[in-house]
Structure 1
Amino acid sequence: MQLAGKTVLLTGGSAGIGRELARQLKAKGAQVVLTGRNVERLDFMRAEGFETIRADLSNAAGVDALVAELGERSFDVLINNAGQLIDHDFRKGSPDPDAADEGIYANLQAPIRLIAAMVPMLKARPEAAIVNVTSGLAIAPASRQPIYCATKAGLRSYTLALRQQLADTKIRVIEALPPVVDTQMNADNAMSKMPAEECARQIVSAIENNHDEANIGQVKLLRLVDGISPALARRIMIRF
């Protein structure tokens, strides 16, 4: 896909991977409309020349409000990047079920709801793409983040099925699977982290080169191990 002249809706675009995606897409000549929840971060991105929309995607009302604000606007690319990392570890105490509900909605239901709203419009574009940002943890879970792993695995399955459903349309369905990335979400994670700029670069490259998947960094190795022995991949990852 040639990104110059394309209009992109990017969720979670005011920080982390999303912020770098916004900048790199803009550098390629795309018009980026980004969403986020933090007003200060949105103001910062607006000062960089981006159109921003404050949106809470952790519930149906927030997603519906975003869709209503978009109205009849046309987009060529939808990037579902927004996500929440929910603390759900019984080794630390009793997890908050309400927090789990918000994370499940933000990570899984919100992308599904946005896709459902936008597919008819995307079908009418000469060239279009849906990019779902999942995780290497969608392949094999880590014990420390069961909610995040479950939602990303769910989004991966949804993406695979959606790609087949839209195979005869002009919409390319892309899954991006990052490793641990150096973002605020992973600030307390002591593992080696990929720079957000490099992660974003590989996602943009996948869009430009019409790849179905972007297996980023160490996820390439995880995919290789999983292809040989899914059980081994699970044994390796579950310890983290």
Structure 2
Amino acid sequence: MKVNGKTVLLTGGSAGIGREIARQLKAKGASVILTGRDPSRLDTMRAEGFEAIAADLSNAAGVDALVAALGDRPIDILINNAGLGVPHDVRSEMPDPDAADGCLYANLSAPVRLISALLPRLRARPEAAIINVTSGLAIAPNTASSVYCASKAGLRSFTMALRAQLAGEPIHVIEALPPLVDTQMTAGRGKNKMPPEECARQIIAALENGHDEANVGMVKVLRAVYSLSPALARKIMRRL
């Protein structure tokens, strides 16, 4: 798909991977509408020439408000990038169930609800695309982020089913699986993180080249290990 001239709705576009996706798509000639929760970051993106909509996607009301704010404008590409991370490890302390609910909604329910709301206008375009950003942890979970891993695994499963449902229609369904990327969410975690600029570049390349998956960076290695031995892949990831 050529992104020049396309209208993109990008959730979670004011920081991290999303911010770099927005910048790179704009540089290629796309019109990007982005969402975020932090007012100062949204203002920064507006100063760069983006339309930015404040949206809390951790609940149904927030998703519905975003759809209402879009009005009836056409959308060519929907990128479900917004996500929440939450610690959930019963070995250290009892987790916060409300925080877990918010994580599950933002990472899984919100993309499903947003796709359902916007599918008619995507179907109305000559060609369209949906990109769901999951994670390498959707393939094999680590130990400390059990709820986050579950939400991304759920979105991975939904994405594969949606792709099959839309087979034959001019809507390309893509799953993007980043590795550990240097963002605010991963601050203080791990080493050798991928720069968000490179992660964004590989996701956009998958869109432009018609790939069903963007296995970014070390996720390519994880996919290869998993194809040979799922048990080994899970063992490796549990150590992280």
TM range (shorter): over 0.9
* 1:71, distance to aligned residue in structure 2 (A): 1.7
C-alpha distance after superposition, 1:140-178 (max 9, x if no partner): 000010011000000000000000000111000000000
Distance 2:126 2:60 in 1: 30
Give the drift of 1:72.
0.8
Query: Are residue 109 (structure 1) and residue 106 (structure 2) matched?
Result: no
Deviation by residue 1:95-149 (Cα, 9 ceiling, x = unmatched): 1000000000000000000000011110110010000000000000000100110
Which residue is equivalent to 1:97? 97
Give the match's secondary structure for 1:9: strand
Residue identity in the other structure for 2:237: M
User: 1:90 offset after TM fit, Å?
Assistant: 1.5
CA positional deviation for 1:91? 2.3
Partner of 2:224: 224
Shift of residue 214, structure 1, vs aligned partner = 0.3
Which AA in structure 1 matches 2:176? A
1:27-47 deviations in whole A, cap 9, x for unaligned? Answer: 000000000000000000000
Show the counterpart of 1:54.
54
* Partners of 1:139 and 1:87 in 2: CA distance: 19
The offset of 1:191, in angstroms, is 2.6
Percentage identity across paired residues of the two chains: 70
> How many angstroms apart in 1 are the aligned matches of 2:40 and 2:92?
32
Query: Which runs of structure 1 show a deviation greater than 3 angstroms over 4 or more consecutive aligned residues?
Result: none
Amino acid at match of 1:30: A
User: Which position in structure 2 is the counterpart of 1:164?
Assistant: 164
Paired position in structure 1 for 2:34: 34
- Tell me if 1:182 matches 2:182: yes
Q: Distance in 2 between matches of 1:154 and 1:190?
A: 24
Which structure 2 segments of 5+ residues have no match? none
Cα distance in 1, alignment partners of residues 53 and 181 from structure 2 = 24
| Pairwise CA distance, 1:190 | 2.5
Structure 2 partner of 1:204: 204
- For the residues of structure 2 that align with 1:71 and 1:111, how far apart are their CA atoms? 18
Aligned to 1:11: 11
> Shift in Å at residue 9 of structure 1?
0.1
What stretches of structure 1 of length at least 5 have no aligned partner? none
| 1:182 aligned counterpart, secondary structure | coil
User: CA–CA distance in 1 between the matches of 2:220 and 2:93?
Assistant: 34
CA–CA distance in structure 2, aligned partners of residues 218 and 42 of structure 1: 31
Structure-1-length-normalised TM-score = 0.99
Q: Which residue of 1 aligns with 2:127?
A: 127
- 2-structure distance, mates of 1:206, 1:6: 16
Q: CA RMSD in A?
A: 0.6
Displacement of 1:92 = 2.2
**Matched residues in 1 for 2:190 and 2:179: separation?**
13
Mapped to 1, the partners of 2:182 and 2:125 lie a distance apart of: 35
CA distance in structure 1 between the partners assigned to 2:122 and 2:92 by the alignment: 44
Within 2, Cα distance between the matches of 1:193 and 1:175? 20
Give the structure-2-normalised TM-score. Answer: 0.99
Structure 2 counterpart of 1:163, one-letter code:
R
Instruction: Provide the C-alpha distance between the structure 2 equivalents of 1:83 and 1:127, rounded to a whole number of angstroms.
Output: 26
The number of residue pairs the alignment matches comes to 240
**1:83 is matched with which residue?**
83
Amino acid of the residue matched to residue 115 of structure 1? I
